[in-house]
Amino acid sequence: MSASANNASSIDALIRKLAREELVDMVPYQSARRLFASGDNEQANSKTWLNANEAPGQGKYQLNSENINRYPDFQPQALLNAYSNYCKLSVKSILATRGADEGIELIIRSFCKAYQDSILICPPTYGMYAISAENHGADVIKVPLINTTEAKCQLDLEGLKAQVGKVKVVFLCSPGNPTGNTLPQAEIKAVIEMFKDSAMVVVDEAYYEYTSEDFSADQINTKLISTYDNVIVLRTLSKAFALAGLRCGFTLASEEVITLLSKVIAPYPVPAPIAEIASQALTNDLALMQTRVINANALRTELITWLEQQNWCCEVFPSDANFVLFRCNNLSEKDTVFNLLVENNILIRDQSKQLQLENCLRISLGSEAEISQLKQLLETLK
Ligand SMILES: *Cc1c(COP(=O)(O)O)cnc(C)c1O
């Protein structure tokens, strides 16, 4: 008997029968690249990408493929040494991962029993915490950010206290994505204290470099790792280091937590060419990175001032990161702004579906030329 060629509907039926049912209808993370694929180089270069918080400018790196027939080390030594030097922690406190996103996933898989344990997030926040939890079968408890008399988008400490004992992992994002603000150090510390016997507290510092005057001296949250057992810090080369395409991030925690996460990660998690490029960036290009951050921060100040003067804009969020979030007066003006840019091949990110962010859009700080092109276009709306 010969097998008949398979067809889409029979595969679909088989998947529905065999797969974890909650995945079948799950919507994957709508990353900036899934919403607008970059396509081939020609297509990619014909668009202005201001939707994924990537830094502008190309890097130049040397690759040596001599040993490419060999598996790489589990954690390439040169890479760990370079990051250790940068973050001022011992190499034993560092796990290099496939982007900070893999760190998020590993933490959830290591601490949450599927269909039993929960994570806690403070929306509006980075989407991958909930997606990774959902993928794994962990529940998501939300304690939204609140506006206080002094500042917007702050932690609700009372609301967080009510969840002590009910969650295994708490995700704090500082500076927040998409909100942009840094959480006060005292509040981060209060949350760590609050959950010290019951949950890991993850401080996602994907935008760390944009907040820091002195990158190597200011490691405020990483220093907490030696004082509190339940602190994990996430970092990445995707933002200030302008290496989003590399997929390289770091999970920083006590040696014991790193040992645990190492049981869950893939056997050869860092491809050799990635380690090579990342090590070069972390040793030779720190000054370049610093200049990139200074430029982005200057551009941010200008963009915020400009946005505040536009009729269609009613609120600009303070930002310590390489992007600016703002609110339009209403849905139709939000769509007008977004669509005018898309029609002219400038892509920004619509954040209006997020909790509390009705009519909000986010602009990533590309180059000065890109931002001025965006302003010119939007000035026609007056
Ligand atoms: C971009 C981003 C990440 C993911 O970084 P990768 O290293 O590219 O996976 C994680 N957290 C936040 C808050 C981010 O904005």
pLDDT of residue 220: 87
The whole-angstrom separation of Cα 301 and Cα 285 is 25
Closest residue CA from atom 1 of ligand 1: 206
Closest residue CA from atom 7 of ligand 1: 99
- Per-residue pLDDT in tens (0 to 9) along the chain, 382 residues: 556 667 888 899 999 999 998 888 888 887 777 777 766 666 667 889 999 999 998 888 989 888 899 999 999 999 999 999 999 999 999 999 999 999 999 999 999 999 999 999 999 999 999 999 999 999 999 999 999 998 999 999 999 999 999 999 999 999 999 999 999 999 999 999 999 999 999 999 999 999 977 666 678 899 999 999 999 999 999 999 999 999 999 999 999 999 999 999 999 999 999 999 999 999 999 999 999 999 999 999 999 999 999 999 999 999 999 999 999 999 999 999 999 999 999 999 999 999 999 999 999 999 999 999 999 999 999 7
Q: Which of 126, 202, 323 to mutate to test the pocket of ligand 1 (most atoms within 8 A of CB)?
A: 126
Q: How many residues does the chain have?
A: 382
Domains and CATH numbers, the chain: 32-50+287-378 (3.90.1150.10), 77-284 (3.40.640.10)
Cα(130) to centroid of ligand 1, in Å?
13
Strand partners, 139: 118
The whole-angstrom separation of Cα 309 and Cα 10 is 57
Cα(250) to centroid of ligand 1, in Å?
11
pTM of the model: 0.95
Residues having CB closer than 6 A to ligand 1 are: 53, 99-101, 126, 173, 177, 204, 206, 236, 238, 244, 249
Closest residue CA from atom 2 of ligand 1: 206
The secondary structure of the chain in percent helix, strand, coil, rounded to multiples of 5, reads: 40, 15, 45
Cα(6) to centroid of ligand 1, in Å?
39
Ligand 1 atom nearest to CA at 249: 7
Cα(236) to centroid of ligand 1, in Å?
7
The whole-angstrom separation of Cα 28 and Cα 78 is 35
Residues contacting 253, CB < 8 A, separation 6+ = 93, 95, 225, 231, 232, 233, 261
Gap between the terminal Cα atoms of the chain: 72
Cα(311) to centroid of ligand 1, in Å?
32
The label of the residue with tokens 């000035």 reads 379
Cα(382) to centroid of ligand 1, in Å?
35
Q: Which of 210, 236, 251, 274 to mutate to test the pocket of ligand 1 (most atoms within 8 A of CB)?
A: 236
pLDDT of residue 29: 81
CB 203 within 8 A of CB 231: yes
CB 281 within 8 A of CB 273: no
As given in the structure block, the two tokens for residue 219 are: 């490691």
Ligand 1 atom nearest to CA at 176: 13
Which string of DSSP letters, residue by residue, matches 285-354? -HHHHHHHHHHHHHHHHHHHHHHHT-TTEEEE---SSSEEEEEESSHHHHHHHHHHHHHTTEE-EE-TTS
CB 349 within 8 A of CB 178: yes
Ligand 1 atom nearest to CA at 237: 7
